[in-house]
Amino acid sequence: MKCLILAAGYATRLYPLTENFPKPLLPVKDKPILDWLIEDIDRSGEVDEYIVIGNHKFAHHFEDWASGHKQKITVVDDGTSSNETRLGAVRDIQFAIDALKLLGDLLVIAGDNLLDFSLTDFISYAKVKGTSCIMRYYEPSEARLRKSGVVEIDSEDRVLSMEEKPENPKSHWCSPPFYFYKADDVPLVARGIESGCGVDAPGSFMEWLSTQTAVHAMEMPGKRYDIGNLESYEAVQKTYKGINGGKNDK
């Protein structure tokens, strides 16, 4: 399968750190955020190519970074140069699908998050379910729920509904930006956009897809670190220990 890494944002809340440098390449414990993610996913043995969808302003940074890796990494430039002209995550996904004619299973992840558990478990879960899948975590705060993608599930983990930034959340399950697209569903991204699904939040496509076919939601077995501003970046520098507290990190 391919792994598509969403990295076309401009991270304005992290200025000045990201004014001229992409957030996914910021170092955490002397290692770029993307390296933490790729080194983990590589352990699955399932991914034969990593595709970084970036913007025109930062594409050369990703190309320089990719050149030093053993993995096959393809950088796709979406042609945008400012936060005001950005395509939005779902349109970026479609841009990469069109540019590289992607047809098989696709692991889609945000390139600016860190995890203390392995995404290899998520890949295994999706293969067992045989459907496109999302992840979910319990969020007790009503205020945070209103700023997140909220999911309803049944007893078999099937998604009953998804909603981005709901005024009245229907559950306490939030969906982070890590997704598995089954090969049959990859061509449906274009249809979702044509049908009016949201394009800014990457979960908007999965929200639409769950109304068309079965989508399952795996409960996260650990913690996600969302690096959204300078304070959260400073905090993760102090607290992050890698996958399983660093026990399996190399």
Residue 235 has a pLDDT of 92
Please tell me the pTM assigned to this model: 0.93
Question: What is the tens place of the pLDDT at every residue in 80-105?
Answer: 999 999 999 999 999 999 999 999 99
Residue 20 has a pLDDT of 95
**Cα separation values, 189 from 96, 100, 139, 181, 185, Å:** 11, 14, 28, 10, 7
Q: How many CA atoms lie within 13 A of 125 on its CB side?
A: 25
Question: What is the tens place of the pLDDT at every residue in 32-48?
Answer: 999 999 999 999 999 99
Q: Is the domain defined by 2-246 classed in CATH 3.90.550.10?
A: yes
User: Hey, what amino acid is at 191?
Assistant: R
Q: Specify the residue for token string 């890590």.
A: 178
- What six digits make up the tokens of 185? 């569903």
The dihedral sign for the CA sequence 173, 177, 178, 179: positive
Residue 226 has a pLDDT of 85
Ranges in the chain, pLDDT < 50: 248, 250
Question: What is the tens place of the pLDDT at every residue in 50-66?
Answer: 999 999 999 999 999 99
Distance CA 225, CA 228 (A): 9
Q: Specify the residue for token string 């697209």.
A: 181
| Domain coordinates in residue numbering, the chain | 2-246
